[in-house]
Amino acid sequence: MDTQDQEAIAEAVRQAESLTSGEIVVVIDRAASSYHTVPLVMALVLALFVPWPLLMLTATSAPRIFLIQLVCAAVLMVTLLWYGRGGRFVPGFVKRRRAHDVALREFTARGLTRTRGRTGVLLYIALQERYAEIVADIGIDETIDQAVWRGIIEPLLGAAKEDRLREGLIDAVGAVGSVLARHAPPAADDVDELPNKVVLL
Q: Coil, strand or helix: which one is 135?
A: strand
Count of structural domains within the chain: 2
Task: Read off the pLDDT of residues 113-126 as tens digits, 9 standing for 90 and up.
Answer: 888 889 999 999 99
Phi/psi of residue 77, each to 5°? -60, -50
Domain that holds residue 78: 37-83
Predicted local confidence at residue 4, as pLDDT: 93
User: Do 155 and 114 lie in a common domain?
Assistant: yes
Q: For residue 109, what is the domain's CATH number? A: 3.10.310.50
Q: Please state the three-class secondary structure of 20-80 as a single string.
A: CCCEEEEEEECCCCCCCHHHHHHHHHHHHCCHHHHHHHCCCCHHHHHHHHHHHHHHHHHHH
- 98 CB neighbour count, 10 Å cutoff: 19
Least confident segment among 47-51, 84-88, 144-148: 84-88
DSSP state of 87: T
User: Do 22 and 49 lie in a common domain?
Assistant: no
What confidence category does residue 100 fall into, taking pLDDT thresholds of 50, 70 and 90? very high
Predicted local confidence at residue 58, as pLDDT: 84
Q: Are 87 and 35 in contact (CB under 8 A)?
A: yes
In whole angstroms, what is the distance from residue 108 CA to residue 90 CA? 27
Task: Read off the pLDDT of residues 143-178 as tens digits, 9 standing for 90 and up.
Answer: 898 899 999 999 999 999 999 999 999 999 999 999
Predicted local confidence at residue 191, as pLDDT: 79
Q: Are 108 and 42 in contact (CB under 8 A)?
A: no
Chosen domain end from 83, 115, 150 = 83
